[in-house]
Structure 1
Amino acid sequence: RLNPQFIIERFAGEVPPRFLAGPGWGNIRNDQINVAIEKELEKRDSWQGKYL
């Protein structure tokens, strides 16, 4: 169970194109976003919770 003081934010989601309310990000999928974030964290020698 998470501490109630924590804030969880979703940074990516997928929806069928007909339900989009605004312009897309160039058809980048969730898995591609995750890979890009993981590569950047590795490049910086960082990870979630590093300073906790």
Structure 2
Amino acid sequence: MVKNGEFFVIKEMKQRGMSITAIAKELGRDRKTIRRWLYEDYPDTYRFGS
């Protein structure tokens, strides 16, 4: 799971023109994870049962 702050860093890096592969290498994440997060509007949140 990508942390909330990291989500916005990924978006910013992509806006600056970095490739998905370059972002993944810099953050130590899988490129599929980066790609998935780039196409999300907001990061997933944990939901706890009652």
TM-score, with length taken from structure 2: 0.31
The structure that is helix-richer by fraction is 2
TM-score, with length taken from structure 1: 0.30
